[in-house]
Homo-oligomer: A and B are copies of this chain.
Amino acid sequence: MKGPVSGHAEGPLAIICGGGTLPFTVAEAVSRRGREVFIYALNGWADPARVRAYPHRWGAIGQFGRFRRFAREAGCRDVVFIGSLVRPAFSQIRLDLATLRVLPRIVAAFRGGDNHLLTGIGRIFEDAGFHLVGAHEVAPEILMGEGPLGAVAPAAEDLADIALAMQVLRATGPFDIGQAAVVAGRHVLAVEAAEGTDLMLARVAALKKAGRIGAAGGVLVKAPKPGQDRRIDLPSIGPETVEAAARAGLRGVAVAAGSTIVAEPQAVARAADRAGLFVAGVGKEFEP
């Protein structure tokens, strides 16, 4: 069994870098532990200003051959895939020969929902001799702990809503649907599927504004799907999640402690305190 901080310390760590600050939190944490980092920056997603601080190469989504060449040149065997990346628009995808060879498998995975897609992609890396590692394995500090992150804690009524939302996620989990739901006053307002958390929260905000939702308050709850490949696709929150939850009139955000990534925890705590929301990690007793 591996410890929380995974081994394979031979060679630098390749980080396939999507959007947001999270890839750099991981890069810093890994560098701090004395391991070199090579960043494969995804065009249109990775932040150029921050990529520059590390050995890096740019590439598009779909250029698996390009990644494989650069990562091998850099002497990487372990690969982490991290950062925001909504399902890419097809116009953004560039395919190279190596990808075309595995394309039928990607398409097959794409048809089967997010879990299958990501699991399929994971296997393609493994088949090319890479070892796909979870970002939280090399940088456990990115995981949400138990308890509130800011000054506000969930009240008893919030705990009831959190428990109901977790039950909903447990029920929808086998169908590989989403990682989030919104519950207010024991009423399920929204279930996330292909649209993602931000659009789901925007919908709740719009419904409340239109007077279509009677219940006040409410909570956003995120938790990993059962059976999901946690190396690639842990649920995550950041300051913008808290701000979107505030715009939707929610009382707080609850996530599964130990299996949810928090981008910029200090900024999340500040955003929560500013909006008067709680942001809390909840334990196994709540998890789906």
Residues of chain A whose beta carbon lies under 8 Å from any beta carbon of chain B? 86-92, 110-114, 164, 167-168, 171-172, 174-178, 182, 185-191, 193-195, 199, 203-204, 207, 210-215
Which of A91, A167, A191, A207 neighbours the largest number of chain B CB atoms within 10 Å of its CB?
A191
Known contacts being A168-B177, A212-B87, is A112 close to B187, with CB within 8 Å? Answer: yes
A176 touches B188 (CB 8 A): yes
Other-chain contact of A191, B113, B177, B215 (Cβ < 8 Å): B177
A194 touches B189 (CB 8 A): yes
- Report the separation of the CA atoms of residues A111 and B218 in the bound assembly, to the nearest whole angstrom: 11
- Report the separation of the CA atoms of residues A204 and B199 in the bound assembly, to the nearest whole angstrom: 12
Across the interface, which residues of B come within 8 angstroms of A92, CB to CB?
211
A188 touches B177 (CB 8 A): yes
CB distance from A234 to the nearest CB of B (A): 20
Known contacts being A164-B175, A188-B193, A194-B187, is A210 close to B110, with CB within 8 Å? Answer: no
Which of A112, A164, A195 neighbours the largest number of chain B CB atoms within 10 Å of its CB?
A195
CB distance from A186 to the nearest CB of B (A): 6
- Report the separation of the CA atoms of residues A128 and B112 in the bound assembly, to the nearest whole angstrom: 52
Across the interface, which residues of B come within 8 angstroms of A203, CB to CB?
195, 199, 203
B89 touches A215 (CB 8 A): no
Number of copies: 2
Other A-B pairs, 20, CB within 8 Å; known A172-B172, A178-B191: A87-B214, A89-B211, A92-B211, A112-B185, A112-B186, A112-B187, A113-B187, A168-B172, A171-B171, A172-B188, A176-B187, A176-B188, A182-B193, A188-B194, A189-B193, A190-B193, A190-B194, A194-B207, A194-B212, A194-B213
- Report the separation of the CA atoms of residues A111 and B191 in the bound assembly, to the nearest whole angstrom: 18
Known contacts being A111-B185, A212-B89, is A195 close to B167, with CB within 8 Å? Answer: no
A195 touches B190 (CB 8 A): yes
A210 touches B89 (CB 8 A): yes
CB distance from A267 to the nearest CB of B (A): 26
Across the interface, which residues of B come within 8 angstroms of A207, CB to CB?
194-195
CB distance from A128 to the nearest CB of B (A): 23
- Report the separation of the CA atoms of residues A76 and B181 in the bound assembly, to the nearest whole angstrom: 43
- Report the separation of the CA atoms of residues A91 and B164 in the bound assembly, to the nearest whole angstrom: 30
Known contacts being A111-B187, A185-B111, A193-B190, is A211 close to B91, with CB within 8 Å? Answer: yes
- Report the separation of the CA atoms of residues A213 and B111 in the bound assembly, to the nearest whole angstrom: 10
